[in-house]
Chain A
Amino acid sequence: MDYDQFDNEWTPEELAQLRTLDSERAPTAALKARTVRLLRARHLIGARWSPGLRSVLALAAASVVFVAGTAVGYAAGARRATLRAVVPPPAALAKADSSATQRQQTRQVIWF
């Protein structure tokens, strides 16, 4: 059956009446409360870090990285200074070796 062949459209009066139907219905307060509760329970809304807290945490993380870097750098520098005090630098060792082995001291005595 082809229903397009029948003129079954709403009349202008009926259409006007249709347009006056309420388009909204006030929900109960309980609906909002339980919807929010459900969405929270499914971790779809709420209880995540706010933008402010997120900034604070980012700043704290940056501070930790900075302090850790400073500490590592300080420790490395201190270790190098200690080594320098105990072991002479390679250049000094080389110089000492060459003067001991290659330049033999000669004592010349002149008799008058």
Chain B
Amino acid sequence: MLGQATVGCMRESFNASTPDRALVRAIQRDRSEDAFSVLYDRHTPRALQTAWRLLGARGDDAEDAVQEAWMRAVQSLHAWNEDASFGAWLRSIAAHVAIDALRRTSRLDPETDGAWSDEEWASDRLDLETAIVALPAGYRAVLVLHDVEGFTHEEIGARLGITAGTSKGQLFKARRAVRARLAPKTEGRT
């Protein structure tokens, strides 16, 4: 009893081993900046990578998207299902923000956005990461969300405002485009 009271008067400390659930509760209860700092350090690198890929390797835009994702996440912590992964939830928000950003700048048109420019064909061979990042935005979004992040076509459709069938079609074309890009230039054009 006395021990509990003593602990109650002491400042809570958080570290890398503190579970997400405890950190989230501390943020909700006390607006704990320390708890947020640990949560941020733990989950930001993956969320940033997701946003970076979706936005075509534009670092500043990706960081803006992650900042916005954190703001939305902290505002709606009550919506996080504690049985689910906090990291996956945050990445989903970051993906949503990145897609919104693509849509705002009219760089996301899954139906028509499929052609590479001659400049993009210029390099002989690319690694997989570069090939994905160099995809047109509409293809890239579907491929990253499905093949890298593990979303279903229905989930992707809901996020992008397209049907699940369209999402499948975009994925098909995206994979074909990546394969062509990874092959030597002569193979890729045939």
Contacts and interface: CB of A to CB of B under 8 A. Distances in A.
A8 B143 CA distance: 13
Given A25-B49, A39-B70, A51 B63 contact: no
Given A36-B33, A45-B27, A55-B9, A31 B44 contact: yes
Interface string A1-37: 1011010101000100110011111111001101110
Contacts, number: 105
B122 interface: no
Contacts of A43: 31
Interface size range of chain A in the complex: 35 or more
A51 B30 contact: yes
Interface string B81-123: 0000000000000000000000000000000000000000000
A110 interface: no
Main secondary structure on chain B at its contact with chain A?
helix
A85 B41 CA distance: 74
A73 interface: no
Given A44-B71, A51-B9, A51-B12, A18 B128 contact: yes
Contacts of A107: none
Interface residues of B, number: 41
Given A42-B71, A43-B31, 18 more contacts: A3-B165, A3-B168, A3-B172, A14-B128, A17-B128, A18-B148, A22-B49, A26-B45, A27-B63, A27-B66, A32-B44, A36-B33, A36-B40, A39-B71, A44-B27, A44-B74, A52-B9, A55-B9
